[in-house]
């Protein structure tokens, strides 16, 4: 559905540049995501405003990446918080480290691999190399509404961990 809307908005802008009027249903949709400048007819009359409907594009605007590097779990079953103090952010990414052997768990600050309480994502090891499992969570509008301290990791093998990064606006 999202891809279809993206194609539609491109077609709507193309029609506007050609001077053709948009159908009634197109006018309603484009006015919800586009700013009207001087009507819907003629070249250059529609202008995009706000954030892109593609979440990934929102993070390219004024985002400052931060890396915690490798975050290890000393004792399996004991959650390791990603931050000890409130750390507002708009995106969090965790990635498996190639060569490790145990499963990793990303979740709330109370994540526990034994009971799966608080688990958001179970991540498989990549002991032979290749593509590493990763997981991202982000806000839809790119604002710092996530709190890094609300999330944690756990491991099935002592001393293993994840690469953790986060973005702030």
Please provide the average confidence, as pLDDT, over all residues in the chain: 75
Q: Tell me: do 84 and 141 sit in the same domain.
A: yes
Residue that wins the pLDDT comparison between 163 and 16: 163
d(CA 135, CA 93): 6
Let me know whether 83 and 39 are in one domain.
no
If asked whether residues 45 and 80 sit together in one domain, one would say: no
Q: How far is residue 70's CA from residue 66's CA, in Å, rounded to a whole number?
A: 12
Both structure tokens of 130: 């290749």
Largest CA-CA distance found in the chain, in angstroms, rounded: 66
Per-residue pLDDT of 57-77, as tens digits, reads 554 556 789 999 999 999 999
164 and 119 within one domain: yes
CA 71, 123, 55: angle at the middle one, nearest 5?
A: 85
Share of the chain above pLDDT 90, in %: 55
* pLDDT tier, 19 (very low <50, low <70, confident <90, very high otherwise): very low
90 and 138 in a common domain: yes
pLDDT of amino acid 77: 93
The number of domains in the chain is 2
Q: Residue 110 has which token pair?
A: 């109370």
Top pLDDT among 54 and 97 is at: 97
Here the CATH number for the domain that contains residue 91 is 2.60.120
Q: How far is CA 163 from the centre of its chain?
A: 16
Q: Span 15-34, mean pLDDT?
A: 40
Query: How far, in Å, are 82, 88, 94, 117, 150 from residue 85 at the CA level?
Result: 9, 10, 19, 22, 10
pLDDT beyond 50 at 10: no
Are residues 74 and 34 part of one domain?
Answer: no
- The boundaries of the domain holding residue 108 are 58-168
pLDDT, average across residues 7-33: 40
């Amino acid at each position: 559905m999202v891809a279809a809307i993206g194609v539609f908005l491109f077609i709507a802008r193309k029609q506007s540049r050609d001077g053709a009027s948009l159908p009634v249903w197109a006018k309603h949709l484009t006015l919800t995501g586009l700013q009207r400048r001087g009507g819907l007819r003629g070249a250059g009359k529609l202008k995009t405003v706000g954030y892109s409907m593609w979440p990934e594009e929102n993070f390219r605007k004024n985002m400052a990446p931060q890396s915690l590097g490798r975050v290890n779990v000393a004792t399996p079953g004991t959650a390791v918080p990603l931050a000890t103090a409130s750390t507002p952010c708009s995106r969090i990414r965790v990635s498996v480290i190639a060569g490790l052997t145990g499963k990793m768990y990303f979740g709330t600050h109370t994540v526990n691999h034994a009971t799966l309480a608080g688990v958001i994502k179970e991540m498989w090891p990549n002991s032979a190399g290749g593509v590493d499992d990763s997981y991202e969570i982000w806000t839809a509008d790119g604002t710092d509404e996530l709190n890094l301290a609300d999330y944690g990791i756990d491991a099935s093998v002592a001393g293993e961990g994840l690469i953790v990064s986060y973005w702030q606006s």
